[in-house]
Structure 1
Amino acid sequence: MAALSDADHDKVSAAVAAAEARSDGEIVTILTDLSDPYHDVGLHWAVAVLIAVLAWSAFAPGWLYWAFHLVNGGWSEEPTLGQLLAMLMFVAVLKFTIALLLLKWMPLRLALTPGATKQRRVRRRAVALFKAAAERRTIGRTGVLLYLSLGERRAEIVADQAIHEVTTPECWGEAMAILLADVKQGRPADGIAAAVGLIGDVLAEHFPKTAADINELPDKLIEL
């Protein structure tokens, strides 16, 4: 992913500042290429290919004889059990290795990763970053993280205790929808800025601006 332009960063920072000007809430925005490398997914698919080879051999063992004679040019006698097992092992390992190498290509690995797995790992990364960047870092526990993972095209909104106690997940639905719609059209900065504005509406409703409020967390977009 190419880094966002300075203008994009300025747009997001301005949106955060405007949203925070209406409430005592603090908004942190984080953008990343990918939330997880999904190495295990590639390994699982490669193992599935290996098992498929073994299963096919059990169902239709005749192909082993065909493969053996093909390799030997048809000049050998009938193969022994050991030779057939060696052929099976060779083909299974070859298929496993090819599948593993193909799945090093991230677009393919992501395409074969179940949506639920992507969602769980994006959520896990968002929560971990929230704990590091926003949790308990505001006096009133009014920090909220907007996290966007471009590779999975998924986002998360994680709120600190005070916000969590007075809101429901449905409160963030409109912000999530407009964010992901802009991401699909190749405008992540516009989506983040628009989502920040809607998050600001929720914060202004529950935590209106007071004279004692100060800017406790940075307004800038963080790219990982």
Structure 2
Amino acid sequence: MKEIFSTEQQERIVQAITVAESMTSGEIRLVVDRKLSADSALDAAVAYFRKLNMHKTALKNGVLIYLATEDHAFAIIGDEGINVRVAADFWDDTKEQMVSFFRTGDVVEGLITGIHHAGEQLKHYFPRRADDVNELPDEIHFGNN
């Protein structure tokens, strides 16, 4: 699965997560499958959100970006701490920015753009605190397919 991205691309993506999280107490995870692991990208994102224990963060401020590369499908979801504070279309701008890169075939830049934008959005609602700890790993989670 890791062959979807080169080592350098993976490092760029993980660095983007680290930088985005340096601005916020929020947690950002990226899950990559080749094919959808559920009926829809949203269903897959919800399943991974629970599988990766993202619902267990202290402030309920985790964000998961799910991508199925061969099915050209993705979703962004946030935990209840985020969802109670933002409008229903909160992630639409992030998705549009990502899609603009995906359409040109630049998946990595699309992911990095989405990660940075998510971090920018999170810092407004969940600014980084002095006692903040990284509750979840920053690495890419590659699914089984």
Q: 1:212 matched to which residue of 2?
A: 131
Counterpart-to-counterpart distance in 1, 2:53 and 2:79: 8
SS in 2 for 1:136: helix
Alignment of 1:1-224 (within 5 A): 2-36=3-37, 121-224=40-143
Counterpart-to-counterpart distance in 1, 2:76 and 2:100: 16
**Greater percentage in strand:** 2
1:145-167 CA distance string (max 9 Å, x none): 01112223221111111111111
1:65-84 CA distance string (max 9 Å, x none): xxxxxxxxxxxxxxxxxxxx
Q: Which runs of 4+ in 1 moved over 4 A?
A: none
Aligned-residue offset at 1:128: 0.5
SS in 1 for 2:92: helix
Counterpart-to-counterpart distance in 1, 2:98 and 2:116: 11
Aligned-residue offset at 1:202: 1.0
Identity of aligned residues (%): 25
Unaligned segments of structure 1, at least 5 residues = 38-119
**Greater percentage in helix:** 1
Counterpart-to-counterpart distance in 1, 2:68 and 2:32: 6
- Preserved CA contact (<8 Å) 1:153 1:180: no
Q: Write the letter of the residue equivalent to 1:30.
A: V
- Preserved CA contact (<8 Å) 2:17 2:28: yes
TM-score, normalisation: structure 1:
0.59
Aligned-residue offset at 1:31: 1.3
Unaligned segments of structure 2, at least 5 residues = none
- Preserved CA contact (<8 Å) 1:24 1:213: yes
- Preserved CA contact (<8 Å) 2:31 2:142: yes
Counterpart-to-counterpart distance in 2, 1:165 and 1:134: 19
